[in-house]
Structure 1
Amino acid sequence: MQMSMLKIRKTMVVVEEIHHEGGPVADTPLLRGAALAVVKNPYAGRYEPDIQPFMDDLRPLGLQLAERLAEALGGAEAIEGYGKASVVGEGGELEHGALWHAPGGYAMREVLGGAKAIVPSSKKLGGPGVRIDVPITHIDASYVRSHFDSMELGLNDAPRADEMLVALVMTTGPRIHARAGGLAASEIKGEDGLR
């Protein structure tokens, strides 16, 4: 059995409380949170044809971050939106960031009790301090327009050239003052993850 290649330098959980966006103050603030980890990229500085073993190594981290984030936002039952992202340091390649898709997405679905919608994602290459916008959609139906959102993330010292920053984002509801129409959360059929 191969030893895990996962080496974590740091993690962070952050929660925003959004009371209004220029309109009336909401009765209950929207919570938007993120859990991030900075990990060593085992493939930095070289081309490796078979990178999938690291995806398996990332799975426990995905679950740990998803559990911590859901707890920080009031528990899995409070979560209505989600997204994920990765930033690869300059010694790596964009494809290394794609290794976060399954570990991050499936972990959130598991923690949230089988959410149906695809987890939106973004990835990029960048150096320390780079920012990334993480797209967010409703956990059960991607077409629920009120939950289309994003959260900008970054850390001042990551990722270094031989690192990756991986992130999960969750929200507790629609955008504050959402009024752009479209499918409402109360109208979700839950058949296909879209509507």
Structure 2
Amino acid sequence: MQPDIRKIVTYQEDVLVEGFKPAAEPWVMCAAAAVVKNPWAGRFVEDLSPVIQAFGPPLGALLTERVTAMTGSGERIEAFGKAAVVGLDGEIEHASGLIHTLRFGNHFRQAVGAKSYLAFTNTRGGANAPIQIPLMDKNDAGRRSHYLTVHFAISDAPRADELVIALGAATSGRPHHRIGDRYQDLKEMGHDVDNPAAV
């Protein structure tokens, strides 16, 4: 069983000026999305696992390949995330099922050499629904400079019986980040940030 893919959409923005100030290097944010027929659309299916196990690896591999091609390599990616939007004849559980599996996400994590988990959204919507992929640092979940969102839409997807499955990435954090990170706040609150169990 293989996913029935109608099309693949890629999105990229290279930010040269942010906040009225030039970026030292172009700030690249990008995404790759697959528009897939939802095999569970229009009915309740108790056991989703056969499809999840079959669809996860090829979708994870395909989208990882597309995203890393846009950045030039997995090594260049500093922030990453994933998202799914299910069409109106599907359940949120369908969107969740296809992205919340190691068979899907581990392709991306391994390609970028990540330690962090993938930030995510799973939503329902019709054609042109916003696809919002939250990103975070691939190795440090507390690094606020890399709290980002890749935001785009596909004008004809998802149809009612489709899913949009997407991966997103950035080659850096915000160009002029200056709000500190999570650990600074924790220190100010008296937490021992060198001992994660104490936080």
With the length of structure 2 as denominator, give the TM-score of the two structures.
0.86
- The 5 Å alignment of 1:30-179 reads 30-58=27-55, 59-99=57-97, 100-102=99-101, 103-113=103-113, 115-179=114-178
Q: Deviations over 1:7-36 (max 9, x none)?
A: 000001221101122232112111000000
Q: Distance in 1 between matches of 2:46 and 2:71?
A: 39
More helix by share: 2
Q: CA deviation at 1:55?
A: 1.5
Q: Deviations over 1:26-76 (max 9, x none)?
A: 121110000000000000010000001121222111111111211211211
Q: Deviations over 1:163-187 (max 9, x none)?
A: 0001000110011211111269xxx
Aligned residues: 182
One-letter identity of the residue aligned with 2:111: V
Q: Deviations over 1:97-150 (max 9, x none)?
A: 01222244212112113x110101001111111113211100011111110010
| Partner in structure 2 of residue 187 of structure 1 | none
One-letter identity of the residue aligned with 1:181: G
| Partner in structure 1 of residue 25 of structure 2 | 28
Q: Distance in 2 between matches of 1:150 and 1:55?
A: 26
Note if contact 1:84-1:104 (Cα within 8 Å) is conserved in structure 2. no
C-alpha RMSD of the superposition: 1.7
Note if contact 2:24-2:175 (Cα within 8 Å) is conserved in structure 1. no
Q: Which structure 1 segments of 5+ residues have no match?
A: 185-191
| Partner in structure 2 of residue 188 of structure 1 | none
Q: Which structure 2 segments of 5+ residues have no match?
A: 184-195
Q: Distance in 2 between matches of 1:5 and 1:24?
A: 47
Q: Distance in 2 between matches of 1:104 and 1:173?
A: 23
With the length of structure 1 as denominator, give the TM-score of the two structures.
0.88
Which structure would you say has the larger Rg?
2
Q: Distance in 1 between matches of 2:182 and 2:73?
A: 25
Q: Percent identity?
A: 38
